[in-house]
């Protein structure tokens, strides 16, 4: 994921992610084609905060790097 804080993009592809985590994200509405916004990045390579469908959540940068986004 190559978004800057405050920018929005649509999820193009999610690959290589743990199936359990992928399912949890799907339960939050995170899937291909959905718009997502990067709200903030934690210091010292900490988690990033994302907004999708009005929900805020944080995930590790390692998992976030497996989400390909088309910036709009």
Query: Is residue 72 predicted with pLDDT exceeding 80?
Result: no
Q: What residue ranges do the domains of the chain occupy?
A: 8-71
Distances (CA, A) of 21 to 18, 51, 55: 5, 17, 16
Cα distance from N-terminal residue to C-terminal residue, the chain: 13
**Tens-place pLDDT, residues 23-69:** 999 998 899 999 999 999 988 888 999 999 889 999 999 999 899 99
What pLDDT is attached to residue 71? 87
Q: pTM for the full model?
A: 0.80
The pLDDT of residue 1: 60
- Averaged over 3-32, what is the pLDDT? 90
Q: How far is CA 38 from the centre of its chain?
A: 7
SS3 43: coil
Give the CATH H-level superfamily of domain 8-71. Ferrous iron transport protein A (FeoA) (2.30.30.90)
């Amino acid at each position: 994921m190559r978004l800057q804080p405050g920018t929005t993009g649509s999820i193009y592809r999610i690959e290589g992610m743990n199936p359990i985590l992928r399912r949890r994200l799907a339960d939050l509405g995170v899937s291909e084609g959905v718009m997502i916004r990067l709200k903030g990045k934690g210091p010292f390579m900490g988690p990033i905060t994302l907004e999708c469908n009005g929900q805020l959540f944080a995930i590790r940068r390692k998992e976030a790097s497996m989400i390909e986004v088309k910036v709009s």
